[in-house]
């Protein structure tokens, strides 16, 4: 039996009013669920309902500790269903079960973190410059549109929903068309936790229809977007016309630097994890590895041995490290990029093909791929592939290395492998990225802000002050004069 999903819109569980479509399990192409796409009318209804719901006393008058209680309940609601949610997310995007479990745990942690942040967020009494007391208080921005991609749904969704609710906003969600499930389940968990109806709506469907209508809606006062740079730029343009703040978590082409003195065992493990976990479908994938010439050959042979041992297979298996890509069309785009790299003169060291065997026939699988011999200016080293494809580049001169790392439109993350703390400080400060991992890679903490520079985006998610991204500031001047203001009596 194929499940039919209702979605939660404007306080009711129902079918959205657009065409019916099906989601597919990337491992074998089978239908996972059917549901209806939303329309611009659904967007309007959801946003209007959100605007009404957020102003009702039941939401607007909640004290921070009461709002925090709801967020704690949401964390508990996620944990109570953790295995089920991890399995559902695996079916939506084909990520290995171990990864989806980690994403579910991270989502619960995000709600817990923002519950604490919400309770401890302080308004300020500012130094007075007259016979008055000055105060700056944070107020919710209003209705937030949250737009997310398909690669890590529950974690991306939680990173927007938790701080927005903590700030007192209402949220209208537009998950990726092919991975709507986690946003729908979060709405269910929120409702069960006691979040008033209308505060969260979920609108599945096409970005060009649902996402666009959401971004343009006059009552939407902020967009929190994660996705590709081209779409993000379009959203920023519309945001500028509305004078609406947008946070944009966009693409990347992150460099990983292996220095001559690096612990190669650790560096190889980190580079493998950085590019091949999530099958490379990760904005922070370390897709360009710059390895010092003096250790290049040794690093390469250890890396290729590691690649040979990676377990590509059934995402339901506990042992799988790389599942299928999200779709056949995405695999086709990765295959095109590998061909571009080879046409540009790259030498294939590993992968570059689909895995052999009947179990892979129906899924969008692709082998971990390593290519060397390309200059950093090659298209394969410049453009985001969003798949398991690593470019290996030797380096010898530090100034030239920094120039090459920064010679890219993106600026999301970087990795440095060295034993020398001064090298870290020198390189770290020169790299144009939002995150630098030192002797580790792809580690995250709710308490540490995340985001990019250059074409990787603007704004930050996570971190205690992440709530402030969903607030505006209001200033109060409390007059303390014993007599009327002097001006009127002169």
User: Least distance (Å) from ligand NAD to the CB of residue 80?
Assistant: 27
Q: Is 283 a catalytic residue?
A: yes
Contacts of 58-62 with C-beta under 8 Å, sequence gap 24+, read 58/196, 59/168, 59/170, 59/196, 59/199, 60/168, 62/168
Q: Are 89 and 20 in contact (CB under 8 A)?
A: no
208 is a contact residue toward ligand NAD (CB under 6 A): yes
The question of whether 249 is a catalytic residue gets the answer yes
Query: Which part of the chain contacts ligand NAD (CB under 6 A), choosing from 12-20, 134-142, 224-232, 301-309?
Result: 224-232
72 three-state secondary structure: helix
**Measured distance CA(420)–CA(411) in Å, rounded:** 24
Task: Tell me the window of 188-196, 203-211, 464-472, 474-482 that interacts with ligand NAD (CB under 6 A).
Answer: 203-211
Query: 102 Cβ partners below 8 Å, 6+ apart?
Result: none
Contact 256, 271 (CB under 8 A): yes
Gyration radius (Cα) of the chain, Å:
24
Task: Between 40 and 349, name the residue whose CB sits nearer to ligand NAD.
Answer: 40
Nearer to ligand NAD, 193 or 244 (CB): 244
Measured from the CB atom, the residue of 333 and 339 that comes closer to ligand NAD is 333
**CA gap 324, 207 in Å, rounded:** 23
Using the rule CB under 6 A, give the single segment among 63-71, 204-212, 317-325, 350-358 that binds ligand NAD.
204-212
Burial of 261 (0-12, 13-18, 19+ CB in 10 A): middle
Among positions 25, 296, 337, 386, the unique one binding ligand NAD when judged by CB under 6 A = 386
- For residue 188, the number of C-alpha atoms closer than 13 Å in the C-beta half-sphere is 15
The distance of closest approach from Cβ of residue 145 to ligand NAD in the complex, given in angstroms and rounded to an integer, is: 9
Question: Quick one: which segment of 23-31, 47-55, 57-65, 210-218 binds ligand NAD (CB under 6 A)?
Answer: 210-218
Say if CB 51 and CB 170 are below 8 A apart: yes
Structure tokens at 293: 């010439």
By beta-carbon proximity to ligand NAD, the closer residue of 77 and 452 is: 452
Q: How far apart are CA 237 and CA 246, in angstroms?
A: 10
**Structure tokens that stand for 457 in this block:** 């985006």
Long-range contacts of 356-362 (CB under 8 A, 24+ apart): 359/313, 359/314, 362/27, 362/28, 362/29
Which has the closest alpha carbon to 44: 16, 22, 19? Answer: 16
Question: x/- binding map, residues 230-269, to ligand NAD, per CB under 6 A?
Answer: -x--xx-------------xxxx-----------------
The CA distance from 44 to 331, in Å, is 35
Q: Cα torsion at 269, 274, 278, 279 (round to 10°)? A: -90
Residue of 104, 171, 215, 257 that binds ligand NAD (CB under 6 A): 215
Which of 124/336 has CB closer to ligand NAD?
Answer: 336
Smallest gap from Cβ 390 to ligand NAD, in A, equals 16
Using CA atoms, how far residue 330 sits from 13, 176, 253, 385, 430, in Å, is 32, 14, 17, 10, 34
* DSSP-derived 3-state class of residue 74: helix
Identity of the residue, 95 or 174, whose beta carbon is nearer to ligand NAD in the bound complex? 174
Q: Which of 24, 212, 314, 469 binds ligand NAD (CB under 6 A)?
A: 212
Cβ 283 to ligand NAD shortest distance, Å? 3
Mask of contacts with ligand NAD, 141-160, x by CB under 6 A? ------xxxxx---------
Catalytic residue among 177, 249, 384, 461: 249
The span of 63-71, 227-235, 288-296, 392-400 binding ligand NAD (CB under 6 A) equals 227-235
User: Which of 99, 177, 185, 372 is the binder for ligand NAD (CB under 6 A)?
Assistant: 177
Distance CA(276)–CA(282), nearest Å, equals 9
Q: Which of 118, 283, 381, 405 is catalytic?
A: 283
Residue 24 lies near ligand NAD (rule: CB under 6 A) = no
Q: Which is nearer to ligand NAD, 51 or 249 (CB)?
A: 249
**Interacting stretch for ligand NAD, rule CB under 6 A, among 42-50, 124-132, 220-228, 317-325?**
220-228
Nearer to ligand NAD, 50 or 295 (CB): 50
Residues near ligand NAD, by CB under 6 A: 147-151, 174, 176-177, 207-208, 211-212, 215, 226-228, 231, 234-235, 249-252, 283, 384, 386, 412, 452, 457
Residues labelled catalytic: 249, 283
């Amino acid at each position: 039996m194929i499940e039919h999903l209702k979605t939660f819109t404007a306080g009711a569980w129902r079918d959205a009013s657009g065409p019916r479509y099906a989601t597919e399990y990337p491992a074998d192409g089978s239908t996972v669920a059917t549901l209806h796409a939303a329309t611009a009318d659904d967007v309007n209804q959801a946003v209007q309902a959100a605007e009404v719901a957020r102003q009702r006393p039941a939401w607007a008058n909640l004290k921070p500790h009461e709002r925090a209680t709801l967020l704690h309940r949401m964390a508990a609601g996620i944990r109570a269903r953790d295995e089920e949610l991890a399995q559902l997310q695996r079916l939506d995007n084909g990520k290995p079960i171990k990864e989806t479990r980690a994403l579910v745990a991270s989502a619960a942690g995000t709600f817990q973190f923002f519950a604490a942040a919400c309770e401890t967020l302080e308004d300020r009494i500012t130094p007075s410059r007259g016979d008055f007391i000055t105060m700056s208080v944070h107020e919710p921005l209003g209705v937030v549109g949250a737009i997310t991609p398909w690669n890590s749904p529950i974690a991306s969704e939680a990173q927007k929903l938790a701080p927005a609710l903590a700030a007192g906003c209402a949220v209208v969600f537009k998950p990726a068309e092919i991975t709507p499930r986690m946003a729908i389940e979060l709405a269910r968990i929120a409702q069960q936790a006691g979040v008033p109806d209308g505060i969260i709506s979920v609108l599945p469907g096409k970005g060009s229809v649902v996402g666009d209508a959401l971004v343009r809606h006059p009552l939407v006062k902020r967009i929190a977007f994660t996705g590709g740079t081209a779409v993000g730029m379009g959203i920023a343009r519309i945001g500028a016309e509305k004078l609406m703040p947008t946070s944009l978590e966009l693409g990347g082409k992150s460099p990983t630097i292996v220095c001559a003195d690096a612990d190669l065992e650790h560096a190889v493990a980190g580079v493998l994890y950085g590019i091949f976990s999530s099958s490379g479908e990760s904005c922070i994938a370390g897709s360009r590895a710059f390895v010092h010439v003096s250790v290049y050959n040794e690093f390469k042979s250890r890396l290729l041995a590691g690649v040979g041992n990676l377990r590509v297979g059934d995402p339901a298996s506990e042992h799988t490290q790389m599942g299928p890509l999200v779709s056949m069309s995405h695999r086709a785009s990765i295959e095109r990029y590998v061909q571009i790299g080879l046409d540009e003169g790259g030498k294939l060291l590993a992968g570059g093909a689909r895995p052999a065997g009947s179990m892979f026939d129906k899924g969008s699988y692709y082998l971990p791929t390593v290519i060397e011999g390309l200059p950093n200016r090659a298209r394969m080293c410049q453009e985001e592939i969003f798949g398991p494809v690593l470019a290996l580049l030797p380096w010898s001169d530090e100034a030239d290395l920094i120039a090459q790392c920064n010679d890219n439109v993106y600026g999301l993350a970087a990795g440095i492998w060295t034993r020398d703390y001064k090298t870290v400080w020198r390189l770290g400060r020169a790299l144009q990225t939002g995150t630098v991992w030192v002797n580790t890679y792809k580690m995250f903490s709710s308490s540490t802000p995340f985001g990019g520079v250059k074409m990787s985006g603007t704004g930050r998610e996570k971190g205690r002050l992440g709530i402030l991204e969903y607030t505006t500031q209001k200033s109060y001047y409390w007059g303390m004069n014993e007599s009327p203001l002097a001006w009127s009596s002169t």
